[in-house]
Amino acid sequence: MWWRALLSVDQGRRGLHAVFNNDTQMTNEQINAAIAEACGWEDVCQHPKNPNVWVGKHAGTLIEVPNFCGDLNDMYEAERMLKGYDQIATYVWHLENRAGDWSTDLQLMATHATARQRAEAFLRTLGKWEEVQE
């Protein structure tokens, strides 16, 4: 698990362990960090002076991690990283088969997926979704 390396950060900085909760779902912060890393970002962590902001190196520059869970435009950029028929078909399958109270056709479900739902489907497609253990 990619976040285990952050468990040993010094006490002056907050790592991913600080944002874990007791749910079995990844938090938005964990999802955003995991997607950033899947898209090639490096050194993703909480900002040392502002724990509400996550930063990472992208193209060699330290900048704020996009809000993949809350912004469809950011998820659009992440979706562009999916390559080949198998990854795209798997992603669409995860979108169409997400839990919900939809009683309509599956393609409409995928079309109306929120940024958070797309983010989860993206990580599941890449095999990077983690069920947080209680």
Q: Is residue 132 part of a domain?
A: no
Helix (H, G, I), strand (E, B) or coil at 52: coil
The answer on pLDDT for 114 being more than 80 is yes
**pTM as predicted:** 0.75
**Strand stretches in 17-114, DSSP E:** 42-46, 54-58, 61-64
Q: Is residue 86 part of a domain?
A: yes
Q: Is residue 47 part of a domain?
A: yes
Can you tell me the distance from the alpha carbon of 130 to that of 120, in angstroms, rounded to the nearest whole number? 10
Full residue range of the structural domain in which residue 41 is found: 2-126
Total structural domains within the chain: 1
Q: Is residue 22 part of a domain?
A: yes
Contact between residue 90 and residue 2 where contact means Cβ atoms under 8 Å apart: no
Q: Is residue 52 part of a domain?
A: yes
Q: Is residue 122 part of a domain?
A: yes
Can you tell me the distance from the alpha carbon of 29 to that of 19, in angstroms, rounded to the nearest whole number? 7
| Contacts of residue 6, Cβ cutoff 8 Å, sequence gap at least 6 | 15, 16, 17, 45
Q: What is the pLDDT of residue 104?
A: 54
Q: What is the pLDDT of residue 10?
A: 29
Can you tell me the distance from the alpha carbon of 56 to that of 41, in angstroms, rounded to the nearest whole number? 6
User: Which whole number is the average pLDDT over 27-46?
Assistant: 94
Q: Is residue 100 part of a domain?
A: yes
Q: Is residue 55 part of a domain?
A: yes
